[in-house]
């Protein structure tokens, strides 16, 4: 989906939606959130709430899913998560369902904002482990609603192999093909668990140098937790990566599939809506595969 396909939405339209559907909040100031993300356009609603509107019909299913499941999961998790307060309907020229959330303070995760990257990695791993232990009964299996997060990497096999074949350096072609083949060589052999589906720096908040909240559960589902491991190569290195790995009780094959998810993102979706490869992540994946060939 290109940026031109995204549904246009601005402050006056959001104000109309609020005034029409939630008049008790009609007097609150509405301002765009600086980093809205790709799937949604987000606005501040007063000092304590946000309005999130899917940017495309493909993302509308995330709204109802989050409304149902996040209030159930939140009490079982060690960190605050996005908490829906209300669900809006199509109206005022906007064609989709949308949500109002409690605002969570914090800076987007980055090396500059994190005091101790190793401790941050441990805290994130503990969060993911707690999420994986939540009862998955009735949870949505991986499918189109979350772009197959928690499902099989084979869904992206053609796309990834095409990206690999387009690389100019034959050594990169051989090395990335090896990583990808290993990732496809196993499947999750245990009952499905909850996955966030998009554990990335934009969805992790930091306060006082520490991980303070996890947001944006649009890719939420149940299945294989390997998709939540990509951050091991997109953010962590060395000691912090080892701490992240040691805190999560997952087998070697799952980590190999995690490398596959990281590789797919780096080759195909490093820059949403654009063409580009995140070579730093590719190199980290290849190095880790060479040093610790799990299977």
Distances in Å between the Cα of 183 and the Cα atoms of 142, 179, 244, 285 are 18, 6, 19, 12
Alpha carbon distance 235, 212 (integer Å): 17
Spatial distance between the Cα atoms of 146 and 151, rounded to a whole number of angstroms: 10
Which residues touch 243 (CB under 8 Å, ≥6 apart)?
118, 119, 121, 122, 125, 236
pLDDT at 4: 45
Report the pLDDT value the prediction gives residue 245, as an integer from 0 to 100.
97
* CA gap 101, 244 in Å, rounded: 29
pLDDT of residue 292: 66
Helix 157-165 vs helix 252-268: crossing angle, to nearest 10: 60
* pLDDT confidence of residue 64: 94
This prediction's pTM:
0.93
What average pLDDT values come out for the chain (295 residues) when binned by 10 residues? 69 98 98 82 96 94 95 98 96 97 94 96 98 98 94 97 94 96 96 97 96 96 98 97 97 96 93 76 94 59
In the chain, what are the domains? 3-102 (3.30.200.20), 107-291 (3.90.1200.10)
The span from the CA of 74 to the CA of 76, in Å, is 5
Distance CA 143, CA 145 (A): 5
Predicted pLDDT at 186: 96
Scored b (16 or more CB within 10 A) or e, 54-63 reads: bbeeebbbbb
The pLDDT assigned to 39 comes to 84
**b or e along 77-100 (b: 16 or more beta carbons within 10 Å of the residue's beta carbon)?**
bebbbbebbeebeeebebebbbbb
């Amino acid at each position: 989906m290109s940026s031109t396909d995204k549904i246009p939405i601005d402050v006056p339209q959001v104000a109309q939606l609020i005034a029409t559907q939630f008049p008790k909040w009609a007097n609150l100031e509405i301002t765009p959130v600086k980093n809205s993300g790709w799937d949604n356009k987000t606005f501040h609603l007063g000092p304590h709430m946000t309005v999130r509107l899917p940017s495309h019909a493909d993302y509308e299913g995330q709204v109802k899913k989050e409304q149902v499941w996040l209030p159930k999961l939140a009490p079982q998790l060690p960190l605050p998560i996005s908490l829906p307060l209300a669900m809006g309907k199509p109206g005022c020229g906007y064609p989709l369902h949308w949500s109002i959330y409690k605002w969570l303070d914090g800076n987007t995760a980055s090396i500059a904002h994190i005091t101790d990257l190793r401790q941050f990695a441990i805290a994130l791993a503990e969060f993911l482990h707690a999420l994986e232990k939540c009862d998955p009964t009735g949870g949505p299996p991986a499918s189109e609603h979350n772009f197959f997060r928690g499902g099989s990497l084979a869904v992206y096999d053609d796309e990834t192999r095409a990206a690999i074949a387009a690389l100019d350096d034959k050594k990169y072609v051989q090395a990335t093909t090896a990583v990808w083949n290993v990732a496809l060589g196993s499947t999750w052999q245990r009952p499905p668990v909850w996955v966030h589906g998009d554990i990335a720096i934009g969805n992790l908040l930091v306060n006082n140098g520490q991980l303070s909240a996890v947001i944006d559960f649009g890719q939420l589902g149940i299945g294989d937790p390997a998709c939540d491991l990509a951050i091991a190569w997109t953010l962590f290195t060395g000691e912090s990566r080892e701490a992240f790995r040691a805190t999560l009780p997952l087998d070697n094959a799952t980590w190999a599939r995690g490398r596959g998810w990281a590789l797919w993102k780096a080759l195909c979706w490093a820059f949403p809506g654009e063409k580009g490869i995140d070579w730093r992540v590719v190199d980290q994946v290849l190095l880790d595969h060479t040093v610790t060939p799990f299977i």
